[in-house]
Amino acid sequence: MQTLRVDLGERSYPIYIGADLLARADLLAPHIAGRQVAIVTNETVAPLYLGALETALAGYAVTSIVLPDGEAFKNWETLQAIFDGLLGARHDRRTTVVALGGGVIGDMAGFAAACYQRGVNFIQVPTTLLSQVDSSVGGKTGINHPLGKNMVGAFYQPQAVLIDIASLVTLPARELSAGLAEVIKYGLICDEPFLGWLEENMLALRALDQAVLTTAVERSCVAKARVVGADERESGVRATLNLGHTFGHAIETHQGYGVWLHGEAVAAGTVMALEMSMRMGWITVAERDRGIRLFQAAGLPVVPPKDMTPEHFLEHMAVDKKVLDGQLRLVLLRCLGEAVVTSEYPREILNATLSADYAALVDQLKH
Amino acid sequence: MQTLRVDLGERSYPIYIGADLLARADLLAPHIAGRQVAIVTNETVAPLYLGALETALAGYAVTSIVLPDGEAFKNWETLQAIFDGLLGARHDRRTTVVALGGGVIGDMAGFAAACYQRGVNFIQVPTTLLSQVDSSVGGKTGINHPLGKNMVGAFYQPQAVLIDIASLVTLPARELSAGLAEVIKYGLICDEPFLGWLEENMLALRALDQAVLTTAVERSCVAKARVVGADERESGVRATLNLGHTFGHAIETHQGYGVWLHGEAVAAGTVMALEMSMRMGWITVAERDRGIRLFQAAGLPVVPPKDMTPEHFLEHMAVDKKVLDGQLRLVLLRCLGEAVVTSEYPREILNATLSADYAALVDQLKH
């Protein structure tokens, strides 16, 4: 087992990474304040892992709250079901909320923990690759609004993150690929050598090699923890973690939440960010294509939905959280392995990026 | 104008107290980050003060969000209307939310500011006595849940609190009295000499004497700021501010939100806390009666609803936020001017307190 640490002063916390950690009562106990625990999970994860976690927590008064599965349920109604469960079982302010599931569960359970009685303890037990390498670390929680993704939420750090690599064996291949989008992202924004490692190990990752997965998760979490430790509330460097996300969120919003997986939208969105970085003269055509090929090797879409026009993108991006005083800030690559957040770009380069024929571009890669 | 300061390190902020401050652009401007401002108010306050505040903020892109009036609307649906207004007008994360109204508006606008894009700037402009002396200071925000009051919320400090004493001239007499319940509370929990001042000045307060009101608000805010500065997240001394609130919340929940005003429920609840403190042997019968007479002089109810049984109280108090691991903690008076939070009391004294005949007790005071 590896233990990393997110360094945030009083709000610092450990990330445990390894196989078969889910039933480890000794790892959970130090982070539980009172005698009550609420496990928040969903209908897909519950049959697989809820029993083991409940057994590990047998010494506590446990309430398990099982939600419907999917980004489409990341809304107030579902959040309300968590509050109903907590209040129905009379959980007090020393209760501990445990999120067992993917990013949607972690975001919602974390936001519920942030708001319940103005804040209770919270432990992340992410069971998808995406949530293990990204959303479970760093304290971003929240729900979607019909007019925008993650528009309502809180920065709320967990007491601990417990990453059980063994839980990835039950993950559908499509979701594993979606998680790899964020893994590749760390290489692109801050760890160029990691890109080479990923190129070498992509087949092993997709074949669920536990040792290789552990390395990928660990290296991703190290990057995430470092960025979050430097900028908890995203006033600076943390925004670089959103490479591809502004374009990607527009895709998700346009398609309706849950039609594309988050990681899929991020992959196609990052291809657009690579294209724009290339048009800015910051990376070469070959570097752009290297990124595209890596997403393809991970089994991810690299072309935005056919019916999306530049106007669709601009409309959805206008409510993005990275808009400041009307200026749309974008995360771009200054070079491979180094991201910048900037609103200093010629408007025509953004327009050209939104109008580019990605299908044709990707088609050329085959030759 | 008086300027107090709530001392919370990085989250410190000023409280401005005086007459005719509402239109003072110079006081607001330093606390507004971007170019967008959202004023959140209600149908009762808007016709009285929204125009003046909009004029003071003429240099900004202002969105005014007018909500229905009343505690019954302190719920998710109304909160959602704030998010709809913010997103509809494309407010970004540098926007500033200004709460213009009483405690319900402040709590909801503050919670909306805490959650919108995971947190934006927030200014309190309280227009009721209750919110001026209590809820606008200290960062407690939130909404009610059908199973309990203020069960969903956040600790979220404003950038500034702007208290315009002149806005009290339009306050209905019943609401002025409700605010006086919290003013009296400060005397009971931490400022015994203030009780004598209140006895002398109660008529002038109820006659809306601006100078006397300013002193009462200032003295209350000094007490509140001191307690909040010592214990922002209510792990200790801050809980003493809830004198009478555990009983009072039970009354509010039982009657249905908005039937009794919060201050009215606190007054009757504080009479119960005085009764229990007396039964504990900590204050005398004469001190208990002095407290009751002060609430009566302020025009407040001092007897709980006739139909409420001890069982009703126990049921509603069981979900109170002051319950820890099943133990109900109560705020009681160790002596007049000094409160304690304790779960160390004989159960029979609590039962006797809940069963006492308050109508008969108050009737005796007339003789």
Map out the domains of chain B as residue ranges.
Answer: 2-170, 173-365
CA distance B118 to B115: 5
| pLDDT score of B147 | 85
- Is A312 marked as binding a ligand? no
Q: What angle do CA B257, B260, B263 make, to 5 degrees?
A: 105
Residues B65-94 have a mean pLDDT of: 95
CATH number of the A173-365 domain: 1.20.1090.10
- In this predicted structure, the answer to whether residue B349 has a pLDDT above a threshold of 70 is yes
CA distance A280 to A339: 13
**Out of A118, A318, A321, whose CB is closest to B142?**
A118
Residues B177-204 have a mean pLDDT of: 98
pLDDT band at A149 (very low <50, low <70, confident <90, very high): confident
| pLDDT score of A321 | 64
Given a contact cutoff of 8 angstroms between Cβ atoms, the answer to whether A17 and A6 are in contact is no
Residues A140-166 have a mean pLDDT of: 94
> Best residue in A79, A92, A249, A343 to probe B by mutation, most B CBs within 10 Å?
A92
- In this predicted structure, the answer to whether residue A356 has a pLDDT above a threshold of 80 is yes
- In this predicted structure, the answer to whether residue B320 has a pLDDT above a threshold of 70 is no
Given a contact cutoff of 8 angstroms between Cβ atoms, the answer to whether B143 and B76 are in contact is yes
Contacting residues of B for A76, CB less than 8 Å apart:
76, 80
Residues A307-314 have a mean pLDDT of: 95
Looking at domain B2-170, its CATH architecture is: 3-Layer(aba) Sandwich (3.40)
| pLDDT score of B148 | 82
Residues A265-269 have a mean pLDDT of: 97
- In this predicted structure, the answer to whether residue B44 has a pLDDT above a threshold of 80 is yes
CB contact under 8 A, A119 and B155: yes
| pLDDT score of B177 | 98
- In this predicted structure, the answer to whether residue B324 has a pLDDT above a threshold of 70 is no
Is B60 an 8 Å CB contact of chain A?
Answer: no
Indicate if ipTM > 0.90.
Answer: no
Residues A110-133 have a mean pLDDT of: 97
Residue keyed to tokens 């209140």: B198
Pairing outcome for strands A13-18 and A2-6: antiparallel
CA distance A191 to B1: 56
| pLDDT score of A168 | 97
Least confident range of A80-94, B256-270, B323-337 = B323-337
- The torsion angle over the Cα atoms of residues B301, B305, B306 and B309, rounded to 10 degrees, is -130
Q: What residue of B is the nearest CA neighbor of A150? A: B117
Quote the minimal CA–CA distance from B234 to chain A in Å. 10
Q: Is A260 left (phi over 0), alpha (psi -120 to 50) or beta?
A: beta
**Mean pLDDT, chain A, as a whole number?**
95
Q: How many residues does chain A have?
A: 367
Q: What angle do CA A104, A106, A109 make, to 5 degrees?
A: 105
Q: Is B67 left (phi over 0), alpha (psi -120 to 50) or beta?
A: beta
| pLDDT score of A367 | 73
Residue type, B20: D
- In this predicted structure, the answer to whether residue A258 has a pLDDT above a threshold of 80 is no
- Is B61 marked as binding a ligand? no
Residue B14 sits at φ, ψ, to 5 deg, of -90, 150
Residues 113-152 in A contacting B (C-alpha not used; CB under 8 Å): 114-119, 140, 142, 145, 147-148, 150-152
**Mean pLDDT, chain B, as a whole number?**
95
Fold exhibited by the domain A2-169: Rossmann fold (3.40.50)
Residues B44-61 have a mean pLDDT of: 97
Listed residue (A35, A54, A4, A198) closest to A120, CA to CA: A35
Angle between helix A173-190 and A262-279 (nearest 10): 30
| pLDDT score of A70 | 87
- In this predicted structure, the answer to whether residue B311 has a pLDDT above a threshold of 90 is yes
Residues A14-20 have a mean pLDDT of: 96
| pLDDT score of A253 | 86
**R_g over Cα of chain B:** 20
Count of beta carbons in the 10 Å neighbourhood of residue B127: 27
- In this predicted structure, the answer to whether residue B70 has a pLDDT above a threshold of 90 is no
For the question of residue B316 being annotated catalytic, the response is no
pLDDT band at A71 (very low <50, low <70, confident <90, very high): confident
Q: Is A142 left (phi over 0), alpha (psi -120 to 50) or beta?
A: left
**Out of A94, A117, A152, whose CB is closest to B116?**
A152
In chain B, % of residues over pLDDT 90: 89
CB contact under 8 A, B115 and A153: yes
Residues A70-80 have a mean pLDDT of: 93
Q: What angle do CA B270, B275, B280 make, to 5 degrees?
A: 120
**Out of B152, B233, B324, whose CB is closest to A92?**
B324
Reported as a single tens digit per residue, the pLDDT across A193-234 is: 999 999 999 999 999 999 999 999 999 999 999 999 999 998
Contacting residues of B for A90, CB less than 8 Å apart:
318-319, 323
**R_g over Cα of chain A:** 20
CB contact under 8 A, A325 and B90: no
Residues B124-137 have a mean pLDDT of: 96
CA distance B139 to A193: 46
Q: What is the DSSP string of A299-345?
A: T---S--TT--HHHHHHHHTTSTTEETTEEPEEEEEETTEEEEES-S
| Residue of B31, B91, B185, B245 marked catalytic | B245
Residue keyed to tokens 């294209």: A275
CB contact under 8 A, B87 and A233: no
Residues B24-52 have a mean pLDDT of: 97
The 10 Å CB-count burial string (b at 16+, else e) for B316-325 is bbebbbbbee
Do domains A2-169 and A173-365 share one topology? The answer is: no
| pLDDT score of B347 | 92
Residues B59-75 have a mean pLDDT of: 95
| pLDDT score of A9 | 92
